[in-house]
């Protein structure tokens, strides 16, 4: 069954509001026959379904149709330097099932992706959705060439450079695979969870590395090759040496500054010492926040977001980081850019990266063109 333009009609239906055929005729300006044919095509691929009737002033009540959010699922895989999460999402981007674990991204792509695929297949089997997979989204903690899904010289991912992530996943899951930097996907997930009405948002992840996800005009900005937002390797204004932001203010950088007599201080130690009020740790965190604030202030002046979200293990758990960022940004950025600017901690939790990975898939696989192609294939 082929009905040109069904994908465009479906974009209206994605808001989840039930509509009658007459309402769709009025909204779109299309002829009733065109609306009926396009709805039939969407129903044939399971994207719309009847849901009750509308009140009628006389005669038979009109049937309503609604976006069928459960006909298919997608998989979101969120990989960080020290954690991994896998989830199944419905077509509205809601996480249905998820599983997380600690890991070391330096173990390499074969071991890490095998775990992720084992987990995904188990979750799919438990949900009975093996045959209804729309696509797979993957976030990794390093630069990614989005068009190929290959990491490009990722600093904290030894063994991953140039690895064909989509091809490896498709050996086991027969579905399109999209790959992006994890911070981009956190930006998508955080916006959908907490700031759905915001068009211009900057997400900054402060953890083993430091990076930013940029949403402008409601669209994720990747740049020409996918490296937009790589602020971790920006040299910090006013710093005497040539160390970049990551070397000065990431979790390992703070841990190194707190090490005494050669004793090793890990991430957990850093957060715990700050939580318990250790003066050295609190000062180091506040200084790191100010350093991050210098780069953030430049981003605010250039991009003019309405919300800056600070996430990552350190950014979420250490209020001194956000306090330092706020202090510098509000002092140094122009008043027009900061007058209504919110600088807030991330609230998406462990599912934000999963949700962002899923939304990346849904934004592509449920676009008007993709839906028309899906219909043409039946």
Percent of the chain at pLDDT > 90 equals 78
pLDDT of residue 6: 95
- Judge if 138 and 216 occupy the same domain: no
Lowest mean pLDDT across 123-132, 225-234, 342-351: 123-132
Q: What is the CATH number of the domain that holds 122?
A: 3.30.420.40
- Residue 278, Cβ density class (10 Å: 0-12 exposed, 13-18 middle, ≥19 buried): middle
Domain housing 152:
73-186+352-376
247 domain-assigned: yes
- Judge if 153 and 106 occupy the same domain: yes
- Judge if 260 and 180 occupy the same domain: no
pLDDT of residue 56: 55
Give the whole-angstrom CA distance, residue 127 versus residue 354: 17
Token pair, residue 268, equals: 């957990």
Query: Average pLDDT, whole number, for the chain?
Result: 92
- Judge if 19 and 92 occupy the same domain: no
Bigger pLDDT: 234 vs 52: 234
- Judge if 145 and 261 occupy the same domain: no
Of the candidates 21, 49, 67, which is a domain's last residue? 67
Q: Angle at CA 110, nearest 5°, toward 351 and 95?
A: 15
Q: Which is nearest to 190 in space by CA: 304, 316, 367, 340?
A: 316
1 domain-assigned: no
Q: What is the CATH number of the domain that holds 39?
A: 1.10.10.10
- Judge if 164 and 277 occupy the same domain: no
Q: What are phi and psi of 27, to 5 degrees?
A: -70, -40
pLDDT tens digits for range 271-311: 888 888 989 999 999 999 999 999 999 999 999 999 999 99
Confidence band for 263, pLDDT divided at 50, 70 and 90: low
Cβ-based neighbours of 37, under 8 Å, separated by 6 or more: 3, 6
Asked whether 346 and 316 are in contact (CB, 8 A), the reply is yes
Give the whole-angstrom CA distance, residue 174 versus residue 152: 25
Give the whole-angstrom CA distance, residue 205 versus residue 39: 42
- Judge if 143 and 247 occupy the same domain: no
340 domain-assigned: yes
Token pair, residue 2, equals: 């082929």
pTM: 0.91
- Judge if 149 and 165 occupy the same domain: yes
- Judge if 21 and 82 occupy the same domain: no
User: Is residue 354's pLDDT more than 80?
Assistant: yes
- Judge if 55 and 93 occupy the same domain: no
Asked whether 356 and 188 are in contact (CB, 8 A), the reply is yes
Taking residues 120-124, what's their average pLDDT? 95
173 domain-assigned: yes
pLDDT of residue 340: 93
3-state per-residue secondary structure call for 8-53: HHHHHHCCCCCEEHHHHHHHHCCCHHHHHHHHHHHHHCCCEEEEEE
pLDDT tens digits for range 18-72: 999 999 999 999 999 999 999 999 999 999 999 866 655 555 668 899 999 999 9
Positive/negative CA dihedral, 268, 271, 275, 281: positive
Percent of the chain at pLDDT > 70 equals 94
- Judge if 209 and 337 occupy the same domain: yes
pLDDT tens digits for range 188-200: 999 999 999 999 9
191 domain-assigned: no
Cβ-based neighbours of 322, under 8 Å, separated by 6 or more: 289, 310, 315, 343, 344, 345
Give the H/E segment covering residue 168.
Answer: helix 165-170
pLDDT of residue 238: 82
46 domain-assigned: yes
pLDDT of residue 149: 96
Taking residues 128-151, what's their average pLDDT? 91
Taking residues 238-263, what's their average pLDDT? 84
DSSP assigned state of 59: S
- Judge if 117 and 39 occupy the same domain: no
Q: Considering its fold, how many domains does the chain have in total? A: 3
248 domain-assigned: yes
Confidence band for 267, pLDDT divided at 50, 70 and 90: confident
Give the whole-angstrom CA distance, residue 254 versus residue 273: 11
């Amino acid at each position: 069954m082929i009905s040109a333009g069904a994908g465009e009609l479906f974009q209206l239906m994605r808001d989840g509001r039930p509509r009658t055929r007459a309402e769709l005729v009025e909204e779109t300006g299309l002829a009733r026959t065109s609306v009926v044919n396009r709805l039939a095509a969407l129903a044939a691929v399971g994207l719309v379904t009847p849901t009750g009737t509308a009140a009628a002033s006389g005669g038979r009540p009109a049937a309503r149709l609604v976006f069928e959010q459960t006909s298919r699922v997608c998989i979101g895989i969120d990989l960080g330097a020290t954690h991994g999460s896998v989830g199944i999402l419905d077509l509205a981007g809601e996480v249905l099932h998820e599983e997380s674990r600690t890991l070391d991204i330096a173990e390499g792509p074969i071991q890490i992706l095998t775990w992720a695929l084992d987990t995904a297949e188990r979750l799919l089997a438990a949900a009975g959705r093996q045959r209804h997979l729309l696509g797979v989204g993957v976030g990794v903690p390093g630069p990614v060439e989005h068009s190929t899904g290959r990491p490009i010289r990722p600093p904290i991912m030894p063994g991953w450079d140039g690895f064909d992530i989509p091809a490896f996943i498709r050996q086991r899951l027969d579905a399109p695979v999209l790959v992006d930097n994890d911070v981009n996907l956190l930006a998508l997930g955080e916006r959908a969870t907490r700031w759905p009405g915001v068009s211009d948002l900057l997400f900054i992840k402060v953890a083993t590395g430091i990076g930013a996800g940029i949403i402008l005009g409601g669209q994720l900005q990747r740049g020409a090759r996918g490296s937009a937002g790589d602020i971790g390797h920006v040299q910090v204004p006013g710093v005497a040496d040539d160390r970049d932001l990551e070397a000065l203010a990431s979790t390992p950088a703070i841990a190194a500054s707190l090490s005494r007599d050669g004793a090793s201080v890990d991430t957990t130690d850093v957060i715990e010492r700050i939580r318990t009020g250790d003066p050295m740790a609190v000062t180091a965190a506040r200084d790191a926040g100010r350093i991050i604030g210098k780069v953030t202030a430049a981003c605010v002046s250039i991009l003019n977001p309405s919300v800056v979200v600070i996430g990552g293990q350190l950014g979420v758990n250490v209020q001194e980081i956000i306090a330092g960022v706020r202090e510098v940004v509000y002092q140094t950025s122009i008043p027009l850019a900061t007058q209504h600017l919110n600088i807030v901690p991330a609230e998406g939790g462990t599912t934000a990266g999963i949700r962002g990975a899923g939304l990346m898939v849904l934004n592509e696989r449920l676009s008007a063109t993709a839906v028309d192609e899906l219909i043409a294939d039946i």
